[in-house]
């Protein structure tokens, strides 16, 4: 019994000293980075709205989860986050009499650079995200779901990018 009590009391202390932390909560960027500019994304795909949504989602995620001030002018920022939509693939994955399931695959590149030195703080040239949505095959019941799917996907990308930047992963 005393062994169990000892382990119960010492386990939290041991975990606190081992570097354990909740994913997405660390901040491993240099301490001199206080402001970040998230610039417009390049777009090499036929879907124009996604490239507009991604910087907005990343900006919202930085504001809600971090201490960094987000600025619009890259010349006033300590670091600049830039990226681009490399490609978008839309693939039907399920078929039924009423609906067709579609999966969007988005391929991105993202780079965070320290503005003063040009040093790359984070880079991922092969970021991939997926989102699924349904299309009604009946013309009367048809509802365009792809815009809502792109909104969901951009929120996922925003959360993923901010977590990766903070963890320098």
CATH of residue 52: 3.30.160.150
Rounded Cα distance between 80 and 72, Å, is: 10
pLDDT higher than threshold 60 for residue 14:
no
Q: What is the pLDDT of residue 23?
A: 46
User: What is the domain count for the chain?
Assistant: 1
pTM, to two decimals: 0.76
- Packing angle of the helix pair 146-167, 48-65 (nearest 10 deg): 50
Work out the mean pLDDT of the chain and round it to a whole number. 82
In a domain, 12, yes or no: no
The answer to whether position 101 is within a domain reads: yes
Does residue 5 have a pLDDT over 70?
A: no
Is 93 a domain residue? yes
CB 35 within 8 A of CB 78: yes
Q: What is the domain extent for residue 114? A: 24-167
| 2 domain residue, yes or no | no
């Amino acid at each position: 019994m005393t062994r169990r009590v000892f382990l119960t009391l010492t386990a939290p202390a041991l975990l606190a000293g081992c570097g354990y932390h909740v994913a997405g909560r660390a901040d491993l960027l240099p301490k001199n980075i206080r402001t970040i500019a998230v610039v417009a994304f390049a777009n090499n795909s036929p879907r124009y709205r996604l490239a507009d949504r991604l910087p907005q989602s990343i900006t919202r995620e930085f504001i809600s989860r971090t201490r960094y001030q987000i600025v619009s002018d890259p010349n006033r920022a300590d670091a600049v986050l830039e990226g681009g939509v490399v490609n978008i693939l839309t693939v039907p994955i399920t078929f039924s009499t009423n609906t067709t399931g579609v999966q969007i695959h988005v391929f991105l590149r993202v780079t965070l650079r320290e503005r003063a030195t040009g040093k790359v703080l984070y880079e991922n040239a092969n970021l991939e995200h997926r989102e699924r949505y349904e299309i009604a095959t009946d013309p009367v019941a048809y509802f365009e779901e792809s815009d809502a799917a792109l909104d969901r996907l951009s929120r996922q990308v925003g959360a993923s990018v901010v977590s990766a930047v903070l963890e320098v992963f």
